[in-house]
Amino acid sequence: MTLFEDKPGDDGLPGSARMYAMFATMVTTTINVLDGSMINIALPQMATTFNAKASDVVWVANSYLLAVSMSIAFFSALATRIGFRKQFMSGLALFSLASLGCALSNSLEQLIFMRFIQGIGSAATMSIAPAIIKSIFPGRLLGRILGINALLVATCTAVAPIMSGSILVTLDWSWLFLINLPLGLLAITLAYKFLPQQKELDTRPLDKSGAVLSVLTLASTILCANVFSQDSDKINTQSILIYACVAVISGMLFIKRQKRATAPLLPLEIFANTRFTLSALTSFISFVAHTITFIALPFLYEFVFDFSPLKSALMFLPWPIGIILVAPHAGRLADKYNPPIISTLGLFVFGAGIVLLNTLPDNPSDIDILWRSFVCGAGFGIFQSPNNREIMSNVKAHYSSYASGVLAIMRTFGQSLGSVLIGVMLAYAHRNNIDDIQSASYAGIEMGLWIAAASVGVAVVLSGSRLKWKSTQA
């Protein structure tokens, strides 16, 4: 395979070692994606097991997201001190042990706590996975391998509901966590044997003050967003103000600290590269739109079109299939041609797909929905790999860990903001159509999808503007 052929001037690992190191990162990606997608489907069964309210059980998902979001920046910096290999293996071990703890939990509170620990382990690996890929493969293959990674994520996303449903029909939800153990052991073994040791580590002390401020900023932002996502009659204005104030103040102090620190947690100079900054913002906005659409469509299918949950899930399948079919090719093209051109084209297709879904007829056929969903997936698949390549290739090699962390932060916060926005739209629509749930749902969905389409429009402008700036390929 071309991915594992050596050519003169190649950096990274030699071909044979490259393959096994890639497997280590791919298995870890599989675990993270399957875990997140399958657990959400099991929340109703968990509520029954613990005799808990849905609003309480949702913290099984939220605690994981909170842990990931608040610790990504810290782990991006820590990896430059202890090395990718050591952090990657430690994160995998913590994730696997926490998975066992989740499976053995005998109370909701214990499960939520173990999910939080699991999220910390996941952040340790997610924050540096793209940087590890960059260290394994030569620059000429970066877009291609990121495209394969996008294909893997899409495949796992498509398979996860089927796997989860099959397991929950025959076994209980604890098995969704237990399957992480053999996969985690395999990934740790591969990482131990084949991930390279970093030759140069940052020997400066870790910016502890910056780490605390980053945790406060990211955690309070997520918690503030979570308050907005609650039922509109129960929104606590005081909590919103407190979280928002903590986020703003700690965020300002964090930026001030990073400008003055001799060894900052997140070197702000990486944002001096305009193409890097624009690519990060484009990623953030695209995930806002992606999440709005992904949350809105089940409501459209089940509340408005009266589809069964199974049929609703089937209507989603063309989306990951579209990503699977085009992402590897988009990554390959990004290695040969200007990545912003390809990713901007993908955003345009993605936005067109959202508009097409929002203009479905009142009684659409299955084909009407399926091909529109495919357009969205194909567009996002064309966009994501070249954009990720642009982020990772426009920083110096010793900053790759930080760029990897920024990439993960943009994705996580884009998803968080997207979920909040669609929640606000649905709450607003229900408040104004309290006697007609179906009409209220449709109104909220329609507003949400138009916001998603407008967001993609902004992302297209940002993405296209990169063309006038010179790339600094690393």
**Quick count: other Cβ atoms within 10 Å of Cβ 393?**
24
What confidence category does residue 196 fall into, taking pLDDT thresholds of 50, 70 and 90?
Answer: confident
Mean pLDDT, residues 147-158 taken together:
75
Per cent of the chain over pLDDT 90 is 21
| Residues 217-248: tens digit of each pLDDT | 888 887 787 776 565 555 677 888 898 899 89
Mean pLDDT, residues 150-179 taken together:
79
Closest CA to 296 of 354, 383, 349: 354
Angle at which helix 339-358 crosses helix 366-393, to 10 degrees, equals: 150
Q: Is the pLDDT of residue 177 over 80?
A: yes
| Residues 17-72: tens digit of each pLDDT | 778 888 888 888 888 888 877 776 677 778 788 887 755 777 787 788 788 878 88
pTM: 0.77
Structural tokens at position 233: 């009659």
Distances in whole angstroms, Cα of residue 75 to Cα of each of 84, 428, 446: 10, 38, 39
Mean pLDDT, residues 283-309 taken together:
82
Find the range with the poorest average confidence among 89-103, 111-125, 151-165, 395-409: 151-165
- Residue spans of beta strands (DSSP E) within 319-454: none
Mean pLDDT for all residues in the chain = 82
Taking the C-alpha atoms of residue 334 and residue 456, their distance in angstroms, rounded to an integer, is 20
Taking the C-alpha atoms of residue 406 and residue 323, their distance in angstroms, rounded to an integer, is 23
Q: Is the pLDDT of residue 458 over 90?
A: yes
Alpha carbons within 13 angstroms on the beta-carbon side of residue 222 total 24
Closest CA to 444 of 418, 431, 425: 425
Residue 267 has a pLDDT of 81
306: which DSSP letter? -
What confidence category does residue 433 fall into, taking pLDDT thresholds of 50, 70 and 90?
Answer: low
Taking the C-alpha atoms of residue 54 and residue 143, their distance in angstroms, rounded to an integer, is 41
Q: C-alpha angle 346/465/335, rounded to 5°?
A: 50
Mean pLDDT, residues 108-137 taken together:
87
Residue 16 has a pLDDT of 74
Q: Is the pLDDT of residue 158 over 80?
A: no
Residue 450 has a pLDDT of 93
